[in-house]
Homo-oligomer: A and B are copies of this chain.
Amino acid sequence: MNQLAEHIKSIVAISDEQLVKLCDRFVEKRFSKKEHVLHITNQVNEVYFILKGCVRTYVHDLNGVEHNITFSMEDWWFGDLQSYIKKTPASFTIQALEDLTVLAISRENWNVLLQEIPEFVEYTRVLFRNTMFSHENRILQNLSYTAEERYRYFLENYPNLSQRISQKHIASYLGITPEFLSMLRRKK
């Protein structure tokens, strides 16, 4: 039984036959460190479940500056879901920060699963709901906390990620410059 199957079983009750049918719709893909999984100009035809490695999802602002929206690692999903579903051009860029192994699923297969496997509908419903909650929490933090408090929260809640990801990218995720993050770290 693979990681994806385990993840699904941790969220919804589902039979092993259904699970096999479900997992059959995914294909394994590999990317090397620094490689781009998604370019902003491309059409988006897949979303991904991470077996090994981590990625950053980012945008360029009007001045061309990059902003990391989110990091994803083992057993998390990533992709430009909005473009994937609405068939609009990608608005995010996604880059592997380590050598990366994923399970990819095409839009066609995604839609087939939604129609054929009610447990998949429920699984994605719970994923969306939980993502909504964590986004809510992040918005709240941006409003209420200083950069230093957000940094401490990040360290406490993602100790794993904070080891694997460069200061530069963490700073961008927190919405501050690497120089200011460096200053915060010295102070500690």
Interface residues of chain A, those whose CB is within 8 Å of chain B, are 59, 61-62, 65, 67-69, 81-82, 85, 118, 121-122, 124-125, 128-129, 131-133, 135-136, 138-140, 142-145, 172, 175
Cβ contact within 8 Å between B140 and A139: no
B-chain residues with CB within 8 Å of residue A59 when the two chains form the complex: 140, 144
What CA separation (Å) do A68 and B140 show in the bound complex?
9
Cβ contact within 8 Å between A140 and B175: no
Q: Closest chain B residue to A138 by CB distance?
A: B139
Majority secondary structure of chain A interface residues (helix, strand, loop or mixed): helix
B-chain residues with CB within 8 Å of residue A82 when the two chains form the complex: 133, 136
The 8 Å CB contact of A67, one of B121, B132, B143, is B143
Give A117 Cβ to nearest chain B Cβ, in Å: 13
The 8 Å CB contact of A136, one of B129, B135, B142, B172, is B135
B-chain residues with CB within 8 Å of residue A128 when the two chains form the complex: 125, 128-129, 132
Q: Closest chain B residue to A59 by CB distance?
A: B140
The 8 Å CB contact of A61, one of B65, B81, B144, is B144
| Contact status of A142 and B144, CB under 8 A, knowing A82-B133, A129-B128 | no
The 8 Å CB contact of A132, one of B69, B131, B143, B172, is B131
What CA separation (Å) do A165 and B123 show in the bound complex?
37
Besides the known contacts A65-B144, A125-B125, A138-B139, 8 further A-B residue pairs in the complex with CB atoms under 8 A apart: A67-B140, A68-B143, A69-B143, A85-B129, A128-B129, A135-B135, A135-B139, A142-B142
Q: Closest chain B residue to A82 by CB distance?
A: B133
B-chain residues with CB within 8 Å of residue A133 when the two chains form the complex: 81-82
Q: Closest chain B residue to A91 by CB distance?
A: B140
